[in-house]
Each structure stands twice: as C-alpha cells, then as structure tokens.
Structure 1
Amino acid sequence: MSSPRLAHNVFFKLKDASPERVQELVAACHTYLNVQPGIVFFSAGVLCAELDREVNDRDWHVGLHLVFVDKAAHDAYQDDPTHVRFIDEMKGNWAGVRVFDSLV
C-alpha cells in the first residue's frame, strides 16, 4: 500500500472582503501556489454563498485546497520562495488564516 497523500486546506478571512480583493487573493493563489513540485491537486476559490446550513462554517472568504504526494513535498512547499512571496504580498489583508492538514 502506498503512503498517504497530504491534504492542505487553508481558509482566509479578509479585512477588505470586497469582490476585487477576494478575486485578487484567488488570483495570487493561482499565480504563486500552483507551481511547486509534488502537488497532485490544486484549487482556490470563494465561499459558496448558496450553502448556508447550520453546519456550514462561513467565517472565511477564500479557500485554498492542495493535495501533495507526501509530507515531504508539503514541507518543501512551505519554504518555497513563491510561497513565501505569496505570504509577503497578501498577508496585509488577512484578518485570519486557518489551516487544516490531513493524511488522505
């Protein structure tokens, strides 16, 4: 049996959640966070407003979803210069960031 992959899900709450700033963050995810080796799945997008059940956590604006081939690829991603640049350029508008990592 092969080793499990690592799913890395990040949810960003923005200080300025105007449509332009939300799309700016989604675009930055696509530019900076989809280029590292070891990514087997990438997606970034906005909260689905139509899903508003009691169980839905809606305290965020942009979701980033990555699956890495293994934990080592994830760890390398964290130190990758494009990931660091993404953080440096975008963090000024973050009111909160929550990260959920799981083996899948």
Structure 2
Amino acid sequence: MNKNYPVVHHVFFWLKNPSSKEDRDQLAAGVKTLAKIPTVREIHVGIVASTEKRDVVDNSWGVSELIFFSDLEGQETYQTHPIHLEFIKNHSHLWEKVIVYDAVHA
C-alpha cells in the first residue's frame, strides 16, 4: 500500500458476458473515468492476467479497480460523487457481480 495514500478501495467486477471483449473494454473505460473524482489519488484498472493456474488464484472476475485515497473522508466523498453515480448508472448493466475490499494501511 502507498503510505501517502493509506486508504485502498479494491473492486472486482464479474461480467454478465465474460466472453465479450467489447463489454470488458467498455467497463474498463468506464472505470477509468473515476480518476476524475478529486479525492482519487491513484487508480489502477486491471483485467485478468494470464498467470499460472494455482488453487489460490481467483481468475473468475473480468475487470478490477484499485483506488487510493488520502483518508476515509475522501473515500466517502467518492462514493456519492456524481461521476461515480454516473458510472454505476451507465455501466451496471455490464456486470453480474461486484465485490469490494476496503483497507487502510496497517
């Protein structure tokens, strides 16, 4: 974790159509718009890597977002920000399931 931005918001999206590269790319592009939210300090948008298959690796998801915030207030601002709400409105039809992991620097 980045000590300068100790709050981490990690989200995994499972696509309704996991074989659709178009849907995956559309969702990834939508996630990238979240970088415009002022409290987002860093963002990384990912897709599943073709790493070695092991029991401990979950590669069932399609798109991930890893966002760093300076503090919990910044993360809270992000949740209700119009850009985030617009992202959900315009892209939620693409995903079947979402899991969120929020953490602070230990």
TM-score w.r.t. length of structure 1: 0.90
What residue in structure 2 maps to residue 80 of structure 1? 81
**Number of equivalences:** 102
Could you tell me which residue of structure 2 aligns to residue 21 of structure 1? 23
- 1:28-73 Cα distance to aligned partner (Å, 9 max, x none): 1112x10112222101120112242211112210010001000000
Partner residue, 2:55: 54
Q: Equivalents in 2 of 1:75, 1:95: separation in Å?
A: 24
- Per the TM alignment, residue 4 of structure 1 is displaced from its structure 2 partner at its CA by 6.9
Instruction: Return the alpha-carbon distance in structure 2 between the equivalents of residues 64 and 56 of structure 1.
Output: 17
- Structure 1 alignment gaps of length 5 or more: none
Q: What is the one-letter code of the residue matched to 1:20?
A: E
Superposition RMSD in Å: 1.7
Q: Which residue of 1 aligns with 2:37?
A: 36
2:89 paired with 1:102? no
Structure 1 segments of 4+ aligned residues over 6 angstroms from their partners:
none
- Residues 56 and 35 from structure 1, CA distance in 2 versus in 1: closer, same or farther, beyond 3 angstroms? same
